[in-house]
């Protein structure tokens, strides 16, 4: 799923195919992997406390800088080609960068450099989180075959009603699949620190045993099997 989501986000964000599934773009892929490696403690501390640490003549720093330059150059080349493309004049936006560059009629015009920054943010923030979510979704499907059957049936029904395809406009019809993904995210949030809920008032949640569970006016969340059994 890591390679799949990278290819999809590359195409949808700025129309670039990383070809990670087929391993046909090794240099760019190597640069992307280098940029996504968690930094060592020394590197993290150095960037915060040592001036111009990114310019120190250390091999590890130079490798990261080279990877950053390659990725930035790749995105810049794609944006430059889009700015020169006659398709921009027809208004035929096909990805995120097209939409950003075409939105020049308002007072909030965006430069090519800003577009590059948005693309890199979109890649780094959406890639690993999406692939991790897909892993959990398919894990839940594999361990709950009755739900997998229902999800597959819904996909087949929606596709059959839309000439055998599931397109953007028909995604809203996948009610059960959407609920399944949302429930998976509730149980296994990709970024748990952001998946918080705060109750407005004290409340009680009904349990399968007929008893109620008191939820005070604070936010607390846990999926510990010691507290929550598989009741469903």
Q: pLDDT tens digits for 28-52?
A: 888 888 877 777 777 777 877 788 8
| 163 against 123, higher pLDDT | 163
Note down the domain range covering 163. 130-187
What's the average model confidence in pLDDT over 154-178? 91
Instruction: Answer yes or no: do 76 and 172 share one domain.
Output: no
Q: Is the pLDDT of residue 154 over 70?
A: yes
Instruction: Answer yes or no: do 118 and 145 share one domain.
Output: no
Q: Is the pLDDT of residue 167 over 60?
A: yes
Total count of domains within the chain: 2
Query: CB neighbours of 13 closer than 8 A, spacing ≥ 6?
Result: 95, 96, 97, 119, 122, 123
On whether residue 205 sits in a domain, the answer given is no
Predicted pLDDT of residue 221:
58
From 184, 191, 192, select the one nearest 222 (Cα to Cα).
192
71 CB burial (10 A radius; 0-12, 13-18, 19+): buried
On whether residue 76 sits in a domain, the answer given is yes
To the question of pTM greater than 0.75 for the whole model, the response is: no
Query: CB neighbours of 225 closer than 8 A, spacing ≥ 6?
Result: none
Q: Is the pLDDT of residue 202 over 80?
A: yes
| Range of lowest pLDDT (41-55, 93-107, 148-162) | 93-107
Instruction: Answer yes or no: do 35 and 95 share one domain.
Output: yes
Instruction: Answer yes or no: do 28 and 74 share one domain.
Output: yes
């Amino acid at each position: 799923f890591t390679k799949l989501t990278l290819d999809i986000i590359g195409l949808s964000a700025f129309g670039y195919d990383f070809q990670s599934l087929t391993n046909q773009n090794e240099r760019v892929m190597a640069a992307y992997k280098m940029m996504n490696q968690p930094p060592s403690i020394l590197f993290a501390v150095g960037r915060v406390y040592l001036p111009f640490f990114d310019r120190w003549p250390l091999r590890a720093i130079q490798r990261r800088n080279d990877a950053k330059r390659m990725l930035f150059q790749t995105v810049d080349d794609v944006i430059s080609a889009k700015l020169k493309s006659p398709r921009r004049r027809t208004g035929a936006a096909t990805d995120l960068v097209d939409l950003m560059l075409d939105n020049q009629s308002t007072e909030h015009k965006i430069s090519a450099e800003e577009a590059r920054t948005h693309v890199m943010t979109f890649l780094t923030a959406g890639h690993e989180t999406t692939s991790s979510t897909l892993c959990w979704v398919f894990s839940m499907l594999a361990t709950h075959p009755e739900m997998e059957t229902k999800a597959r049936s819904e996909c087949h029904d929606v596709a059959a009603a839309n000439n055998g395809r599931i397109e953007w406009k028909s995604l809203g019809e996948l009610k059960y699949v959407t609920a399944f993904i949302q429930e998976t995210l509730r149980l296994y949030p990709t970024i748990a620190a952001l998946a918080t809920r705060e109750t407005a008032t004290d409340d009680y949640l009904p349990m399968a045993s007929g008893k109620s569970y008191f939820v005070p006016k604070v936010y607390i969340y846990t999926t510990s099997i010691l507290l929550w059994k598989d009741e469903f």
